[in-house]
Amino acid sequence: MKKTIAVMICLLLFGCSHVPLGSMLRLSAFDENSFLSLNPHELRSRIQIDKPVEIDISKTALSLNLETSTGWLVFDYPLKVLSIKNIHKDDNNWFTSATELTEYEFVLSDEAVHNFQALQEKMQLEKPKSYRLNIDAELEKLPNDQDEITLSIFVRLFAESDYITLFDRESFDVDEHN
């Protein structure tokens, strides 16, 4: 039986217990007008995951859930990989060994850019009550005896800005799926 996971990470833009304080402060000024001014060509996400686990790139997407007066609307945006890097982190700590990571950098696919722009136009007509941003990924090469993964997630909203840390070396339980 193959272990896989659907990592559904709700990145609530206005508060999440795993988001570092510095990132929350940077996102606190992010509002509807900020969202409408986003250039989808500039959006980037980065996922760092401990080896040997890898991400199934073909099953990685960004989704946005909007709460409107008519209920929740869900929009899916396929991601394409921009780069994959192997990272060796040696923390010079006596109690832990060096960490081997795989870093994936994603951008919106051409179809996703078009759909994102269409959503921005719709949002100008009807203002959402709230919204949630999710990164959906399925994992590969998960050892049978592994019951949790450790990962970091970063997002860049504007070309001239740095990546914002959403999760920094957080551990998540692995769900087994057939």
pLDDT of residue 7: 33
* Helix H or strand E segment including 124: helix 110-125
Q: Measured in Å, how far apart are the chain's first and last C-alpha atoms? A: 7
pLDDT of residue 103: 95
pLDDT of residue 165: 85
Residue 61's Cβ-count burial label (10 Å; 0-12, 13-18, 19+) is middle
pLDDT of residue 111: 92
How many Cβ atoms from other residues are within 10 Å of residue 13's Cβ? 19
Backbone angles phi, psi at 40, to 5 degrees: -60, -20
pLDDT of residue 66: 83
pLDDT of residue 121: 87
Structure tokens at 122: 């719709």
pLDDT of residue 91: 65
Positions in the chain whose pLDDT score sits under 70: 1-29, 91-97, 175-178
Q: DSSP alpha helices (H): ranges in 9-164?
A: 21-28, 32-36, 110-125
Structure tokens at 121: 């136009």
C-alpha distances in angstroms, 131 versus 65, 112, 136? 5, 18, 16
What is the rounded (10 degree) CA torsion for 108, 112, 116, 119?
-160
Q: How many alpha carbons fall within 13 Å on the CB side of residue 84?
A: 9
